[in-house]
Structure 1
């Protein structure tokens, strides 16, 4: 993997055939909700789509990678090329940090413009630890051992959604 800070580091590029992490869905059904959504790779893009339901205290859908570890210690920002639906999504990084026995997500929101490709930039030092939507005071993000990347929609607005991701880079 390229860890040269001068040229950036592509964490995931869905338009190439190189080995990429597997992606799977984690929806609010784990807590009784009825939202549905998931990942699909289509035409060199990760398509994260579905429907948010507010029934049974629901309201979120997410996808998460598995099978790769990333070292982003030489970088200051993460850049995503996305085409959204006008809603704000969360980028989530996971390490071996736990709250109880469950993983902590290090998160930051990014906006999308309906039907337009944009590049969102997230400062790595501004990712904040969260557990099931609650802010935590720590531990700090272990930038050398990122075990997974995730995306989440949890804006408590019912309805269809779609986010397309072409790539995610560290810079």
Structure 2
């Protein structure tokens, strides 16, 4: 099941940026469809004022993912580490996360849904892993405890 494809459905209205400025930080980022036709999450993470993260999330109408076992993403990174974040409900305070490393080449990465674990503000919660029934949000976060420029290009997100 295709969730996002930058070239065939380049709609930006469901994407939303959240940076550490919500907590006093100075990180900056944006999400655009770049001139090559890919979704591009880019910016600068700053550690000033106790900052240190940038994120983007893609809101969906509630989808049933019970029949799927993996999220597959085709992306091109910058050799930095990122989090893939999913939520069962948009209004949940916690996210289920999985880390991944990027290269400066196009990659297709598959994430088993059973490996996503719950966190809130960087702390792992004592809850069960992702229940795998419904999904309303997918996001990316960079927070490597260092100031850095970043760029993550996304071609597609789908479920297997």
Q: Identify the residue that residue 97 of structure 2 maps to in structure 1.
A: 107
Unaligned runs of at least 5 residues, structure 1: 1-8
Structure 1 residue 95: deviation in Å? 2.0
1:59 aligns with 2:59: no
TM-score, reference length from structure 2? 0.90
Q: Identify the residue that residue 79 of structure 1 maps to in structure 2.
A: 72
Aligned counterparts of 1:19 and 1:163: Cα–Cα separation in 2: 17
Deviation by residue 1:20-66 (Cα, 9 ceiling, x = unmatched): 76101000111111111121122431100000001111110000112
Aligned counterparts of 2:53 and 2:100: Cα–Cα separation in 1: 16
Structure 1 residue 109: deviation in Å? 0.7
Summarize the alignment of residues 132-143 of structure 1 with structure 2, pairs less than 5 Å apart: 132-143=121-132
Q: Please say if residues 92 and 107 of structure 1, whose CA atoms lie closer than 8 Å, have aligned partners that are also in contact.
A: yes
Q: Identify the residue that residue 9 of structure 2 maps to in structure 1.
A: 17
Q: 1:97 to 1:135 in 2, by over 3 A?
A: farther
Pick the aligned partner of 2:20 from 23, 28, 35: 28
Q: Please say if residues 68 and 147 of structure 1, whose CA atoms lie closer than 8 Å, have aligned partners that are also in contact.
A: yes
Q: Number of aligned pairs? A: 159
Aligned counterparts of 1:84 and 1:10: Cα–Cα separation in 2: 21
TM-score, reference length from structure 1? 0.85
Q: Please say if residues 59 and 137 of structure 2, whose CA atoms lie closer than 8 Å, have aligned partners that are also in contact.
A: yes
Q: Please say if residues 51 and 160 of structure 1, whose CA atoms lie closer than 8 Å, have aligned partners that are also in contact.
A: yes
Aligned counterparts of 1:30 and 1:68: Cα–Cα separation in 2: 25
Unaligned runs of at least 5 residues, structure 2: none
Structure 1 residue 70: deviation in Å? 2.4
Q: 1:18 to 1:112 in 2, by over 3 A?
A: closer
